[in-house]
Chain A
Amino acid sequence: QSALTQPASVSGSPGQSITISCTGTSSDVGSYNYVSWYQQHPGKAPKLMIYEVSNRPSGVSNRFSGSKSGNTASLTISGLQAEDEADYYCSSYISSSTLYVFGTGTKVTVL
């Protein structure tokens, strides 16, 4: 199972909005509404930011939102802040036995 495709890097100025794409296939992203997004600061563990395409866990800022169209999921960060600078990974459910595939990861830089 190949990793989901994400842009290597995305940047934006404080206050702007950015969108990170996550492209899979009809066997993963396109088949299930089970896309999740994780934020990882350097040297830290990943943190769940979005689950089931567009749901935010308690405590996650509403500046983070998720969506999906066809085989591509997206994470949008609005009102970009310095603390949002981190790596972001998408993930999708694949099947009852393989379970998870992660994206290649995107480094977000706040200019």
Chain B
Amino acid sequence: EVHLEESGGGLVQPGGSLRLSCAASGFTFTTYSMNWVRQAPGKGLEWLSYISSGSSDIYYADSVKGRFTISRDNAKKSLYLQMSSLRAEDTAVYYCTRDEMRYYMDVWGKGTTVTVSS
């Protein structure tokens, strides 16, 4: 069964850092690009970042550019999101998703919650 599981969320103070992880299983991770998407409480979905299968192509939404860094370890079948300079508006559920041709996201994890508050 194809599965994505995020971890690493929690409570962090404004200005702090956090690293999210996403463990993949049930498919050949090395052949798929991946994304991070978030959803603030009561709000809609927001695409954050994309990484190609071999990490050669990386893109970010303007809202997180310069603060967040996406990476992956194909040997560990894992995706990461390093978040720094966190703000209250970064409070959200963060989902990792499997990408299909950069045109849609066909598999989603259950999400991990990040709360930025003092």
Q: Which residues of B contact A91 (CB under 8 A)?
A: 45, 47, 104-105
**For residue A94, which residue of chain B has the nearest CB?**
B47
- Per the bound structure, the CA–CA distance linking A104 and B59 in Å amounts to 22
Report which of B59, B95, B104 forms a contact with A97, defined as CB distance below 8 A.
B59
Q: Does B103 lie within 8 Å of A36, measured CB to CB?
A: yes
Interface size on A, residues (CB 8 A): 25
What are the residues of chain B within 8 A of A105 when measuring CB–CB? 44-45
**Which residues of B62-118 are within 8 A (CB) of A?**
95, 100, 102-111
| List of B residues within 8 angstroms of A96 by Cβ | 102
If A45-B95, A99-B59 touch, does A51 touch B45 (CB 8 Å cutoff)?
A: no
A101 within 8 A of B: yes
Contact A48-B109, Cβ < 8 Å, known A99-B50, A102-B44: no
A interface list, Cβ under 8 A from B: 3, 34, 36, 38, 44-48, 51-52, 57, 89, 91, 93, 96-105
